[in-house]
Amino acid sequence: MAAPSATAGTDLPKSVQEMSINGSEPPQEYTVKDATFGSVESSPPLGSIPIINISLFLPSSSHDAEQVENELQKLRSALSSSGCFQAIGHGISSSFLDKVRGVAKQFFSLPVEEKQKYSRAVNESQGYGNDVIVSDKQVLDWSYRLTLRVFPQDQRRLNLWPENPTDFGDTLHEYATRTKSVVDLLYKAMAKSLDLEEDSFSKQFGDNTLMQARFNFYPPCSRPHLVLGVKPHTDRSGVTVLLQDGEVEGLQVLIEDKWVRVPIVPHALLVNLGDQMQIMSNGIFKSPMHRVVTNTEKMRMSVAMFNEPQPDREIGPVECLIDEKRPRLYRNVMNYGAINYECFQKGKIALETVRI
């Protein structure tokens, strides 16, 4: 019987994990063919990604007003230039962050058959598997991942939540609850940094925001100059909170048209602005293009938490950020997630399609 071919909506016959273990030459579906966003370079310069102490944004009378103002300015400047920053002072202990990394690694080190119990079904976004194939032209990512919706809680697909390790579910629940508080705090601080009412962004998100967790695994690859762990993209979220691998680098961000490496700050959470906050801020804040490179030696992992507005909410640029000098850049949109997915299938950039 002929081997099944790679068609839209299905996985390639061989998993990235198998290919990595066998040291096989990556098939051409995985090799980067054009250099639209620059060639694959594993070691560009280290980026100077700002480090921001977000505990200063918590309501407290003991903060020094000048320090708070400074940190708000740093936030505004980071988000309007690189579009990302390293958050410290988030209140989540290093040991708990290690636990999150730990349960993820334990799950990924289970035998393939065990993990396949949680496989993502065709045309579904949640579950375990290789990169989702949506078009024949797509260059595939050298990764495997587990994607789970955590909030709203009644939308959890618990049959896809690993039972092994046994504390996976509780750990994910707690981590998502903590990161949700972090993003709620950030939406307020972002508004304040632009001299807006503090609920200007959060009220657009609604009370039932989506929180999606994605556990990314990047096994070693024999051709790091040709194959990416994740191709260049911007996140469709409002904000993404990324827990990087504690030891292995790989993430790169495009700043002023140049790729830079994102350093590992083990206790920090990398906050990436997503497309939907770029829309709401009328383009003042930037949703950065980023990618992940592979390496020949070491496995890398990361845990991305994507926070998005309720899909039935219309979002758009905050009125106070529109004036003669800065006319409205984006139309109001609903369910940007669906727009983004459709664009991805057609090879279009979603943000461009909602631009006026």
16 lies in the site for ligand AKG, by CB under 6 A: no
- Name the minimum Å distance from CB 213 to ligand AKG: 10
Question: Which residues 6+ apart lie within 8 Å of 70 measured at CB?
Answer: none
Whether residue 26 is preceded by a cis peptide bond, meaning omega within 30 degrees of 0, is no
Closest chain position to ligand AKG (CB): 302
Closest chain position to Fe ion (CB): 235
Determine which residue in the list 241, 251, 277, 351 makes contact with ligand AKG, applying CB under 6 A. 251
Four-point Cα dihedral 95, 100, 106, 107, nearest 10: 170
Distance CA 129, CA 267 (A): 28
Phi–psi pair at 183, nearest 5 degrees? -70, -35
Amino acid at 47: G
Residue 216 binds which entry of Fe ion, ligand AKG, none, with Cβ cut-offs from 5 to 8 Å by kind?
A: ligand AKG
Rounded to whole angstroms, what are the CA distances from 6 to 17, 135, 138, 292, 342? 17, 10, 11, 23, 20
Q: Which is nearer to Fe ion, 280 or 304 (CB)?
A: 304
CB 297 within 8 A of CB 226: no
Largest CA distance in the chain: 72
Tell me the site size for ligand AKG, rule CB under 6 A: 11
CB 155 within 8 A of CB 149: yes
Distance CA 97, CA 170 (A): 14
Contacts of ligand AKG in 298-317 (CB under 6 A):
302, 304
CB 104 within 8 A of CB 162: no
Residue 192 binds which entry of Fe ion, ligand AKG, none, with Cβ cut-offs from 5 to 8 Å by kind?
A: none
- Name the minimum Å distance from CB 291 to ligand AKG: 8
- Name the minimum Å distance from CB 306 to Fe ion: 8
Contacts of ligand AKG in 271-290 (CB under 6 A):
290
CA-derived radius of gyration, the chain: 20
CB 351 within 8 A of CB 278: yes
Q: Which is nearer to ligand AKG, 196 or 248 (CB)?
A: 248
Report the SS3 class of residue 75.
Answer: helix
Q: Which two tokens stand for residue 57?
A: 């944004």
120 lies in the site for ligand AKG, by CB under 6 A: no
The binding site for Fe ion (CB under 5 A) comprises 235
Distance CA 258, CA 313 (A): 35
97 lies in the site for ligand AKG, by CB under 6 A: no
- Contact mark string toward ligand AKG, 209..228, x via CB under 6 A: -----x-x------------
230 lies in the site for ligand AKG, by CB under 6 A: yes
292 lies in the site for ligand AKG, by CB under 6 A: yes
- Name the minimum Å distance from CB 54 to Fe ion: 20
- Name the minimum Å distance from CB 104 to Fe ion: 16
Q: Which is nearer to Fe ion, 141 or 235 (CB)?
A: 235
Q: Which is nearer to ligand AKG, 193 or 234 (CB)?
A: 234
Q: Which is nearer to ligand AKG, 182 or 321 (CB)?
A: 182
Q: Which is nearer to ligand AKG, 104 or 230 (CB)?
A: 230
How long is the chain? Answer: 356
Which residues would be at the binding site for ligand AKG (CB under 6 A)? 214, 216, 230, 235, 242, 244, 251, 290, 292, 302, 304
